[in-house]
Amino acid sequence: MWMNRKWYIILALATVVIVTSAAATITAPEPVNLKVLSKNISSRDLQSIMADDFEDGLGVSCNFCHANAANGHGLDFVSDAKPEKEIARRMMRMTLNINKRWLKNKHPKFGDAALAVQCITCHKGQAFPDANEIK
């Protein structure tokens, strides 16, 4: 009986090791349909940029730019159905160009502390910046 119990414990531990190692090799899906951000950006960095630059800078949630999923559950982050997504891309390019051309940041990128002009610079936590403050 003791021998059978010992084998069950060994089998259980081996199962835990196998399942844990298999779970460790599963990676998050690669971000797709990126047209301004680097295509090899990590999911963590992408999430940070979306939360810190866009959500905070514009005071919006993901659904401001991202369309609803066809099945009605969640968002379709790949879809370009909402025009706000392309507007965001244009604004990102504009911000990068301002930092590069006028502020002499040779390699500006989102999520970079050296980025002087950011979404929040003009938007100040609002989806639509106050035109009177930009002049």
pLDDT at 29: 61
Instruction: Please tell me the predicted confidence (pLDDT) of residue 15.
Output: 79
Phi, psi of 76 (to 5 degrees): -100, 95
What are the tens digits of pLDDT across the range 31-63?
Answer: 789 999 988 888 888 988 888 888 999 999 999
- Phi/psi of residue 51, nearest 5 degrees: -75, -50
pTM given for the model: 0.72
